Amino acid sequence: MSDPDWKPTWRKPVGVLALLFGMLIYSGIVVTLVEPISRWPVLAQVPVYLVLGIVWLLPLRRFLIWMETGRWG
């Protein structure tokens, strides 16, 4: 089942580390926004947190493609 020509690449470990680092930076940004947003009414907070929860997924597809193939598209 395994391909004899398969060779491990540096992209996966580097990609995982970059993903963790990026999520750390993004979560730090979100945490700084939490304090002012927490004073808003709950119905105003919901869309903000929905957007912040989804935004980090947008670049993820191309990043995962790069990790697998080495191409950005």
Q: What is the pLDDT of residues 46-71, one digit of tens each?
A: 999 899 889 888 888 888 888 888 88
pTM over 0.85: no
Neighbours of 22 (CB within 10 A): 14
pLDDT (0 to 100) of residue 53: 86
pLDDT (0 to 100) of residue 58: 85
For 20, the enclosing helix (H) or strand (E) is helix 11-37
Is the pLDDT at 1 greater than 70, yes or no?
no
Is the pLDDT at 3 greater than 80, yes or no?
no
Q: Average pLDDT in the 22-42 region?
A: 89
